[in-house]
């Protein structure tokens, strides 16, 4: 009897681990990849990553990485990041945003994810509230990891799925953290100056009310900051209102701006006291960015001409694909098909809609939710997209994220042919 009890207990994890949900996006991408391995041609537009054959990292960055390894930078890095990299990041954000942060206000880590985790653990006590919009990327999971109470605020398509101050206002008085992202994953849309200003003013008012008590902090994820298109401009809290500086922690990094997702070089910057506590947490986790990549990135970011040349070409290739997909969906809509799309502003994503709930598939199944739409698109159109339900939206949402990171221009026309044929098969 004792042995049986021990064996059963050996397979029981903590409550947090037992109830943690894995990444819905990675799960979907894995299922799609299994189909592709079987020889099925699928237009896989799911995961927010890049095909290096289409979007390689900058040559100068690659050469710097090779040199760094040849020079023997293979031991532990400095806990908060190599000094030369923190200095280079300070120069980079000063150039792009006119923000002045010192090296001790900057923290380097193995991509943005450890920084977000460390921030949650630094400013949120178990049971405290974190306010974030939906759809948004992974805030629900970070709340679970931090044992925080998730306050998910649903946003609207007529506002490009960006949260408004009026939607957040009633939740701020009891919150520890507001988590925002712009450009937004999954939508590829951004805050206007007026929208962000109103939210920041609410946070400042709340912190004035709390004077002498634990403040309300703002996490501002700007990992797609460099990828804005047309007349779209990136805006941020401290540039709009310098009074936000004591309460704002930025999340950023190399991965999206330079198609370098696998290099794992991320940075956070904000109040030195918060950054220092985040460093302490990550020093125990050991979530450092590899030293060679740090040294290489430091050298690369100071090569302003190479950075500008790369971004100019890279952004043009991203925008070309986003525009091709957007134009294709608008043409389908004009032709009377049940689709829609939001004009892309930034990042590598297009927000698209399939208004086919309650339609009947060729095998007689009624489409009841976003998972049904996803399955229909994969099985009949061989197109894989991520439903907004994977980002916290209701399962009845018919909005989807389309990622262009692996899209070849020559495949786009064929994808729309496949979509049109599939939609024609639906019945009432």
5 class by beta-carbon count within 10 Å (0-12 exposed, 13-18 middle, 19+ buried): exposed
- Predicted local confidence at residue 295, as pLDDT: 98
| pLDDT single digits (tens) 39-94 | 888 899 998 899 999 999 999 999 999 999 999 999 999 999 999 999 999 999 99
| pLDDT single digits (tens) 189-226 | 999 999 999 999 999 999 999 998 999 999 999 999 99
Q: What percent of the chain has pLDDT over 90?
A: 89
Neighbours of 245 (CB within 10 A): 14
Length of the chain in terms of residues written: 428
Q: Mean pLDDT throughout 132-158? A: 96
Which residue has better confidence, 35 or 317?
317
- Predicted local confidence at residue 225, as pLDDT: 96
Q: For domain 59-304, give the fold.
A: 3.40.640
| Average pLDDT taken over every residue of the chain | 94
Contact yes or no for 356/340 (Cβ under 8 A):
no
154 backbone dihedrals φ, ψ, rounded to 5°: -75, 135
Helix 112-123 vs helix 272-285: crossing angle, to nearest 10: 110
For residue 75, the 8-state DSSP code is: S
| pLDDT single digits (tens) 116-134 | 999 999 999 999 999 999 9
- Predicted local confidence at residue 3, as pLDDT: 47
CATH architecture assignment, domain 2-40+309-423: Alpha-Beta Complex (3.90)
Residue found by looking up tokens 């000094």 in the block:
83
Q: Which segments of the chain belong to CATH 3.90.1150.10?
A: 2-40+309-423
* Closest to 390 (Cα-Cα) out of 406, 377, 374, 376: 374
Strand order in the sheet with 129-134: 106-109, 266-269, 248-253, 217-221, 175-181, 129-134, 149-154
| pLDDT single digits (tens) 329-388 | 999 999 999 999 999 999 999 999 999 999 999 999 999 999 999 999 999 999 999 999
pLDDT at residue 419 is higher than 60: yes
Contact yes or no for 342/349 (Cβ under 8 A):
no
pLDDT at residue 8 is higher than 70: no
Q: Which segments of the chain belong to CATH 3.40.640.10?
A: 59-304
Calpha distance 340→223 (Å, rounded): 26
Strand partners, 108: 267
């Amino acid at each position: 009897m004792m042995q049986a009890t021990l064996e059963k207990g050996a397979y029981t994890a903590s409550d947090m681990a037992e109830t943690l949900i894995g990444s819905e996006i990675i799960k979907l991408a894995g299922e799609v990849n299994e189909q592709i391995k079987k020889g099925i041609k699928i237009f896989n537009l799911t995961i927010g990553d890049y095909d290096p054959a289409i979007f390689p990292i900058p040559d100068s960055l690659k050469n710097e990485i090779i040199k760094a390894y040849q020079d023997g930078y293979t031991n532990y890095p400095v806990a908060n990041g190599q000094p030369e990299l923190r200095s280079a990041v300070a120069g980079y954000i000063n150039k792009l945003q006119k923000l002045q942060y010192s090296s001790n206000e900057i923290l380097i880590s193995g991509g943005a994810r450890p920084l977000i985790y460390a921030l949650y653990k630094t400013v949120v006590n178990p049971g405290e509230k974190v306010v974030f919009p939906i759809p948004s990327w992974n805030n629900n999971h970070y709340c679970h990891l931090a044992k925080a109470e998730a306050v998910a605020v649903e946003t609207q398509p007529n506002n490009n799925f960006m949260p408004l101050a009026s939607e957040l206002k009633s939740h701020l008085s009891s919150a520890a953290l507001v988590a925002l992202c712009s450009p937004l994953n999954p939508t590829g849309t951004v805050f206007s100056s007026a929208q962000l200003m109103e939210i920041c003013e609410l946070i400042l008012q709340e912190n004035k009310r709390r004077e002498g008590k634990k403040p309300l902090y703002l996490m501002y994820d700007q990992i797609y900051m460099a990828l804005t298109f047309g007349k779209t401009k990136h805006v941020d809290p401290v540039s709009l209102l310098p009074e936000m500086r004591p309460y704002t922690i930025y999340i950023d990094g190399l991965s999206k701006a330079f198609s370098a997702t696998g290099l794992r070089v991320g940075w956070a910057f904000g109040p030195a006291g918060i950054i220092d506590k985040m460093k302490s947490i990550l020093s125990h986790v050991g979530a450092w960015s590899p030293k060679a990549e740090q040294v290489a990135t430091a050298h690369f970011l100071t090569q302003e001409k190479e950075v500008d040349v790369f971004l100019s070409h890279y952004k043009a290739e991203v925008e070309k694909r986003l525009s091709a997909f957007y134009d294709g969906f608008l043409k389908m809509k004009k032709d009377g098909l049940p689709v829609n799309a939001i004009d892309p502003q930034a990042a590598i994503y297009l927000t698209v809609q399939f208004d086919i709930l309650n339609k009947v598939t060729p095998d007689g199944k009624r489409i009841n939710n976003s998972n049904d739409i996803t399955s229909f698109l994969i099985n009949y159109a061989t197109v894989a997209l991520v439903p907004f339900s994977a980002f916290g939206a209701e399962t009845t949402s018919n909005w989807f994220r389309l990622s262009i990171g692996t899209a070849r221009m020559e495949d786009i026309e064929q994808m729309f042919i496949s979509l049109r044929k599939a939609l024609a098969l639906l019945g009432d």
